[in-house]
Structure 1
Amino acid sequence: MQCRAGCGACCIAPSISSPMPLHPFGKPAGIHCLHLDKENKCAIFLHPSRPRVCAGFQPTEDVCGSSREEAMAILSEWESLTEPVQPSPEMRKKAEFSPDFKTDASLSAVDV
């Protein structure tokens, strides 16, 4: 499958953890990559600073769907499904009072 002209969903919906020019700390999910031009084409497509995850992305129907909107929905759902789970405040309190709870300072090389 060829990329859909003007789509850019793969450069908007997912987060990118790799540092790159203009995004030294990566790119948050749902934010346009600063390397997308006005036509939603990647300005660093052939540049060596392009993140490996971007270079490895292959458009397929199961990812891109049949429209830009469907691609955004699929990629946004995948992003939310792979997002790290943050413990609730209640779970953090339980962990802190657990006899097995260790702070970073109390970890030894054996624990890590």
Structure 2
Amino acid sequence: MWFFASAALAPRRYTVPMSSTLSCRLGCAACCIAPSISSPIPGMPDGKPAGVACVQLDAQLGCRLFGSPQRPAVCGSLRPSLEMCGASREQALTMLTTLERATQP
């Protein structure tokens, strides 16, 4: 987060740089539910539709393929960030669903 030494220079809200990153939230799995994945996933040979939970999520909403070579490259490329994840699981689901809709062909 950026903070300003002078109140005169500060905007009304604090500013978060676009490169802000977070750690994954336990039990979130928004990135395993909201977006579509076009590449095959073990158990989902045709990929994963948007809004459908990946079959590789376990009961605690963790990825069974994490660290495995079977994990799709797109999953490994996702990095939690404030822009993608927001401040809660609900915000993450909303933000990722909005992004999915905006990028549909």
Cα deviation, residue 78, structure 1: 0.3
Measured against aligned partners, the alpha-carbon deviations of 1:53-76 in whole angstroms (never above 9, x if no partner) come to 000100001100000000000000
* One-letter amino acid of the counterpart of residue 50, structure 1: R
Structure 2 residue matching 1:78: 3-state secondary structure: helix
Give me the whole-angstrom Cα distance separating, in 2, the residues matched to 1:7 and 1:78: 17
- Tell me which residue corresponds to 1:45: 66
Question: Structure 2: which 5+ runs fail to align?
Answer: 1-21
RMSD between aligned residues: 0.5
Identical counterparts, % of pairs: 51
**TM-score, normalization: structure 2?**
0.79
Question: Structure 1: which 5+ runs fail to align?
Answer: 85-112
Give yes or no for the alignment of 1:28 onto 2:54. no
Structure 2 residue matching 1:59: 3-state secondary structure: coil
Alignment of 1:73-112 (within 5 A): 73-84=94-105
The count of aligned residue pairs is: 84
- Tell me which residue corresponds to 1:7: 28
Give me the whole-angstrom Cα distance separating, in 2, the residues matched to 1:7 and 1:48: 22
* One-letter amino acid of the counterpart of residue 63, structure 1: M
- Tell me which residue corresponds to 1:72: 93
Structure exhibiting the larger radius of gyration computed from Cα positions: 1
Give me the whole-angstrom Cα distance separating, in 2, the residues matched to 1:20 and 1:32: 12
**TM-score, normalization: structure 1?**
0.74
* One-letter amino acid of the counterpart of residue 32, structure 1: A
Moved over 6 A (4+): none
Measured against aligned partners, the alpha-carbon deviations of 1:4-55 in whole angstroms (never above 9, x if no partner) come to 1100000000000001210100000000000001111000011101000000
